[in-house]
Amino acid sequence: MKRLLIFVLILSSLFCLLAGPIESEIVFADNQVVDVPILMYHSILKSRRGQYIISPDDLKNDLLWLKEHGYESVFVSDLINFCEGNGDLPEKPVVITFDDGHYNNYYYAKPIFEELQFRATINIVGNYSEYSTSSGDIDNPNYSHLTWEEIKALQENEFFEIGNHTYNMHNLKPRYGIGKKASEDYETYKKNLTEDVTRLEDCFKDKCGFTTNIFAYPFGKYSTESCEILSSLGFKAFLTCNEGINHLKKGDESKLKTLKRYNRSGLMTTKEFFKHAGMS
């Protein structure tokens, strides 16, 4: 019996030497793969519901559901760090995004996110925020957009970060989102797209004191050309409207080019929405 025990001990220590515990840990970290659902919200209103409008109660129910099911919210910038090989993600991460920069995000979502300690990335349309700021038509949850001052406050708040959703390309005509017009050659398109998104970056820099490398495609419209142009400007993460879960690998930046998101329609209940997103 004693001999058998010694034999087992020798065998197991030999195995440890061969396997090399440090090496196996490094291999695991390099190949770390995480599934990340990204949720896309827009407007939050008590008076109406729609495909892009949910009630504050439903928003709170969503966050409580995520908490109960063990999800931990992270920023889009955390995904960038992970895909660049820096920083880790929790076991069950979720990313929450708000598009278009509605003032009601500040009015309804901010207190809920602070209370439940959730994070969100808010994607701003420059001319909407400029209009609200300069016209003074502010602080109405039904139609106002975030002012530059509110955007600055959100970026400085530990539960929020800001992304770029174009300055003035959030339109269906004359071009669809940032799509290239049929009449434009590549160089003209590159110049127009660059001028537009840089204009919003300049507003962020001059009026709010930060810049962002997160870009949300208006109406989810993108192309290989647009990704190439925006990447050359320094953008690193791109949010589409294609639905699906993101399978991210540590150190692999390729998936950041077309991050998938589930639109949170206000016409669904919390349960229906998470079932639709395949989350449990």
Min CB(255)–Zn ion separation in Å: 21
> For Zn ion, which stretch binds (CB under 5 A), given 92-100, 189-197, 198-206, 235-243?
92-100
CA 26/CA 209 separation, integer angstroms? 38
Min CB(165)–Zn ion separation in Å: 6
How would DSSP label each residue in 1-41?
Answer: -HHHHHHHHHHHHHHHHHH-HHHHHHHHHHT-EEEE-EEEE
- By beta carbon distance, the residue nearest Zn ion is 99
Min CB(230)–Zn ion separation in Å: 16
CA 145/CA 124 separation, integer angstroms? 9
The pair of structure tokens assigned to 265 is 């329609």
Min CB(222)–Zn ion separation in Å: 13
215 binds Zn ion (CB under 5 A): no
Min CB(177)–Zn ion separation in Å: 8
CA 176/CA 35 separation, integer angstroms? 31
CA 213/CA 234 separation, integer angstroms? 6
Distances from the Cα of 218 to the Cαs of 12, 15, 30, 100, in angstroms? Answer: 58, 55, 34, 9
Burial class (CB in 10 A: 0-12, 13-18, 19+), 182: exposed
Q: Between 165 and 250, whose beta carbon lies closer to Zn ion?
A: 165
The DSSP code for 150 is H
Q: How many residues bind Zn ion (CB under 5 A)?
A: 2
Interaction mask 44-83, Zn ion, x per CB under 5 A: ----------------------------------------
Identity of the residue numbered 18: L
Min CB(33)–Zn ion separation in Å: 30
Q: Between 71 and 226, whose beta carbon lies closer to Zn ion?
A: 226
Q: Between 34 and 214, whose beta carbon lies closer to Zn ion?
A: 214
Q: Between 82 and 98, whose beta carbon lies closer to Zn ion?
A: 98
Q: Between 151 and 248, whose beta carbon lies closer to Zn ion?
A: 151
Please name which of 221, 235, 219 lies closest in space to residue 100, comparing C-alpha atoms.
219
Min CB(15)–Zn ion separation in Å: 56
CB within 8 Å of 158: residues ≥ 6 apart: none
Q: Between 52 and 65, whose beta carbon lies closer to Zn ion?
A: 52
Of residues 93 through 112, those in contact with Zn ion by CB under 5 A are 99-100
Binding region for Zn ion (CB under 5 A): 99-100
